[in-house]
Structures are given as C-alpha cells and as structure tokens.
Amino acid sequence: MGAEDELLVAVHDAHSEALYRYVVRRTGDAEEARDVVQETLLRAWRNPEVLQRPDEGVRAWLFTTARNLVIDDLRSARRRREYAAETPPEGTRADETQAVLDSWVVADALLALSPDHRAVVVGAYYGGRSVAELARELDIPPGTVKSRLHYGLRALRLALQEKGVTS
C-alpha cells in the first residue's frame, strides 16, 4: 500500500463516521448518505493534495464536498421526476371551448324559431320530455306537438345553415 493510500485510510478512519452522520442529517436517507460519503472519499483520493493538508483542512474539505454533492443531487433531474399519487391533484378535462361555441350558435339559431316551435324543440331535446308530456304541458294535442317538432327542426336546420354550421 502506498503513502497516498495510507493517508486515505487514515482520513477514512478519522472522518467517515462524522461525515456519514452529517450527510444522513442532510438527506434523511442512510443509503444515499453512504453513497455520498463514498463519493466524497473517492474525490479525496483523486485529489491527493487534499490529503496533504492539516487535519482541520481535510475535514473542512470533506464536509464541503459532501454538502455540495447533496445539493447537486437535490437539484438534479433525478430528483425532479414526477411522483405517483393516489389521486391526481386536479382532474383533467378536455377543452370545452368548441362545445361552448357550438351551444352559443345553437342558442342563437333557436331564437330564430317561433315561440311555439322553440318550446317544443327545447322541451323535447333539452328537457328530454316525450310527445305526450309536452302535449300535457303545452295543452295541445300530441299530433300538434309532432308537427311543431318536425317544422321546428326544419327551421332550426335552415337557421344553422345560414350561419354556416351545416351543409
């Protein structure tokens, strides 16, 4: 074993336990702390001039290097990955812009209908009511409801064609 290796062993024996405790406090992870201490000592071995310093200088260099490794790891892309959650913080929704625009165009086209036709079309398609229910509500015969629904839908189609929505 060479003189540099003996110095590294002496540095390890003198500082590794304190360095490990320091890194564990910084990271909260024993496994990661072992890796940081190992990397710190490897860097000391690669820079033999550090081992020539007085004991306080070596200790300061080791702790500074370990602190920098911890900070670099926290800033790394590996730490910035997404973590799975049981429930997403926000529900994802599709863009509803087109649906809103379509509803505006349809509402505008409905205004072009007569009040009688509009009442039947809105009651049937937006209210979900049957012909019999509409006939009772509007106090008209079921045949009249069917007729108004038929002609109301034709007028609605024409109004939408005039707006360039359908062909």
Q: Distance between CA 21 and CA 30 in Å, rounded?
A: 9
Using DSSP's 3-state secondary structure scheme, residue 90 falls into coil
Query: Can you say whether residue 85 is alpha, beta or left, with left for phi > 0 and alpha for psi between -120 and 50 degrees?
Result: beta
Q: Distance between CA 12 and CA 68 in Å, rounded?
A: 19
Residue 93 pLDDT greater than 80, yes or no: no
How large is the average pLDDT for residues 133-150?
A: 94
- Residue ranges of alpha helices (H) inside the chain are 3-27, 30-46, 48-51, 55-75, 97-111, 115-121, 131-138, 142-162
Q: Distance between CA 31 and CA 15 in Å, rounded?
A: 18
DSSP for residue 125: I
The answer for residues whose C-beta is within 8 angstroms of residue 82's C-beta and 6 or more apart is: none
Tokens read off for 105: 């165009």
Render pLDDT for 10-68 as a digit per residue (tens, 0 to 9): 888 888 899 999 999 998 889 989 999 999 988 888 888 888 888 888 889 999 999 99
Residue ranges of domains in the chain, CATH in brackets = 3-75 (1.10.1740), 97-162 (1.10.10.10)
Q: What percent of the chain has pLDDT over 90?
A: 43
Note the pLDDT of residue 114. 94
Model's pTM, two decimal places? 0.47
